[in-house]
Amino acid sequence: MKPDVSRARSRGAARAVLVDRDRGAGESIAENLRRAGVAERAVLVRRDALAALRDLAAAGERFDLAIVDAPYADAALRDAILARLGAPDGPLAADATVVVTAHWRDLPPDAIGLLRSTRVRRFGETAITFYRRDAGAVAAAG
């Protein structure tokens, strides 16, 4: 998950949490955060996304927005991240939005856990799928 921190900040985000296990990508992200002047409002977690999501949820973190940009060749990882985000005890706030990038020929599922696809946009080879967390399903399950 690698949100565009400067864009998130310009739209009112108090902070951003970025997760990437790749050391080189982490260094690049940290440098970009410094250059954009938002490093103090961002947390870079350098570890496996699924473990990071589990620990963030266990710590009580709840996010209004998650951007999932897993490698296109690893649809299983993308779907596992979506399942974790869509879990009733996942790290998303009620009515959260999730944005997922994928190759247009390998789209993520329409629904996964409490996440429901609301639209898909295609830009060249990339498809962007938007999800909303179904707060009604949370209430019904509780």
- The side-by-side arrangement of strands in the sheet containing 115-123 is 63-68, 92-103, 126-133, 115-123, 111-112
Least confident stretch, 5-19, 21-35, 51-65, 109-123:
5-19
Note the pLDDT of residue 15.
Answer: 83
Note the pLDDT of residue 62.
Answer: 93
Asked if pLDDT for residue 28 goes beyond 80, the answer is yes
Note the pLDDT of residue 1.
Answer: 46
Q: What is the pTM of this model?
A: 0.84
Q: What is the pLDDT of residues 79-89, one digit of tens each?
A: 999 999 999 99
33 SS3 class: helix
Question: HSE-up of 9 (CA within 13 Å, CB side)?
Answer: 14
d(CA 62, CA 56) in angstroms, rounded, equals: 8
